[in-house]
């Protein structure tokens, strides 16, 4: 049954507990961010923290293939972290414990990028991405089929794509993501794991990004069709492999701060990363302003402003009321002891 997002803890006691007691297990469908927000008493916050960051583990087949994926991304011996221990359990990547060959290349460090530029995100944003009349018609047809409630909601609202972009409502395009990474100092040889589903617009949309950063791999590049076969009809399981690759990365970057995968990866890296797991989170409103002023600033100033934008989002801030505990776990309301 569908559970309201705002359902109070008492609802779970009255409606869900009897099912759990009768069957010994409950499978929630479309659970999403339920119980992810306030108001919850502190003892339930701590319990939720223990469940989310300690008790919940991926099933063995996901841990095992996720371990293989990370091993193939890194290619060589790599120092394993607390995040890796939490992700893989007994299926830790099988790196050699000792480097016997002095000529062996250094461990490969990689940046994981969640490029949330799939058709559903692009259509739902109502933004214009420069594809002309054909693209606008295609996205409108997608909205009418998949987001009828959105169509109803915006019928009497007049807001232009330009206003949406200036207010930070549009996901970054691949080209904008490339500009952001370049401004942060990432070079052509940077090794990038690209997470997410099919990029809207395909290879032509991705081409500007690939021209600047050609060393890009996906799970489909690194895992064989036979290895992916048991997962291919399960989008959440494929997303779990992306989650593992992103969480285990040296640096994690995102193009849309509101997506669920990016939020979960960010929280996981904050909680288990011991302050060493860097996350690059753009302020889309500020970035849109920087981009619209590109004619008036040189590359050095552009770099400065982008770097300042990212730096200001690096700190772990207290979780404000109504913010997701999965994204911002390091607060008194969601602290738990491992013992």
Average model confidence (pLDDT) across the chain: 84
Measured distance CA(116)–CA(217) in Å, rounded = 16
Cβ atoms of residues 117 and 199 within 8 Å: yes
**Which uninterrupted H or E stretch holds 260?**
helix 260-272
3-state SS class at 118: coil
Instruction: State residue 254's pLDDT score.
Output: 92
Measured distance CA(80)–CA(83) in Å, rounded = 8
Sign of torsion, CA 149 151 154 159? positive
3-state SS class at 252: strand
Digit-coded pLDDT (tens) for 4-57: 777 788 888 999 899 999 999 988 776 666 666 666 777 787 787 888 888 889
CATH 1.20.120 fits 60-95+105-117+171-334, yes or no: no
* C-alpha triplet 114, 115, 119: angle, nearest 5°: 130
Low-confidence ranges of the chain (pLDDT < 50): 97-103, 338-339
Cβ atoms of residues 82 and 272 within 8 Å: yes
Domain boundaries, the chain: 60-95+105-117+171-334, 119-166
Measured distance CA(131)–CA(175) in Å, rounded = 14
Instruction: State residue 229's pLDDT score.
Output: 94
Number of H helices, E strands in the chain: 17, 5
Q: DSSP string covering 29-66, please?
A: SS-TTTT-SS---HHHHHHHHHIIIII----HHHHHHH
Instruction: State residue 160's pLDDT score.
Output: 83
Digit-coded pLDDT (tens) for 173-184: 999 999 999 999
What is the rounded radius of gyration, in angstroms, for the C-alpha atoms of the chain?
A: 21
Partners of 253 in beta bridges: 113, 280
Instruction: State residue 230's pLDDT score.
Output: 93
* C-alpha triplet 85, 248, 187: angle, nearest 5°: 150
Helices (DSSP H) in 51-195: which residue ranges? 60-74, 82-88, 119-125, 132-146, 148-154, 161-166, 174-183
């Amino acid at each position: 049954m569908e559970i309201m997002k705002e359902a109070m803890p008492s609802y779970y006691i009255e409606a869900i507990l009897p099912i759990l007691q009768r069957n010994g297990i409950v499978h929630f469908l479309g659970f999403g961010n339920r119980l992810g927000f306030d108001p919850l008493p502190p003892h339930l916050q701590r319990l939720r923290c223990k469940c989310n960051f300690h008790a919940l583990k991926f099933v063995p087949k996901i841990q095992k293939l996720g371990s293989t994926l990370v091993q193939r991304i890194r290619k060589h011996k790599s120092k394993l972290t607390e995040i890796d221990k939490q992700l893989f359990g007994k299926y830790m990547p099988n790196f050699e414990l000792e480097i016997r060959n002095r000529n062996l290349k250094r461990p490969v460090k990689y940046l994981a990028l969640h490029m949330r530029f799939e058709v559903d995100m692009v259509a739902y944003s109502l933004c214009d991405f420069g594809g002309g009349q054909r693209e606008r018609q295609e996205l409108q047809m997608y909205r009418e089929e998949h987001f009828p409630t959105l169509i109803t909601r915006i019928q009497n609202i007049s807001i232009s794509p330009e206003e949406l972009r200036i207010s930070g409502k549009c996901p970054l395009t691949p080209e904008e993501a490339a500009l952001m990474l370049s401004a942060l100092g990432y070079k052509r040889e940077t090794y990038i794991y690209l997470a997410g589903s099919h990029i809207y617009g395909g290879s032509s949309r991705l081409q500007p990004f690939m021209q600047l950063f050609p060393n890009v791999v996906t799970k489909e590049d690194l895992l064989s069709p036979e290895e992916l076969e048991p997962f291919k009809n399960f989008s959440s399981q494929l997303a779990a492999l992306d989650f593992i690759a992103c969480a285990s990365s040296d640096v994690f970057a995102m193009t849309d701060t509101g997506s669920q995968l990016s939020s979960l990866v960010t929280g996981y890296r904050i909680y288990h990363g011991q302050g060493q797991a860097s996350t690059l989170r753009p302020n889309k409103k500020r970035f849109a302003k920087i981009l619209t002023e590109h004619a008036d600033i040189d590359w050095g100033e552009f770099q400065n402003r982008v770097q300042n934008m990212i730096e200001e989002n690096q700190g772990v801030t207290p979780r404000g009321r109504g913010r997701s505990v999965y994204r911002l776990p390091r607060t008194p309301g969601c602290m738990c002891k491992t013992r």
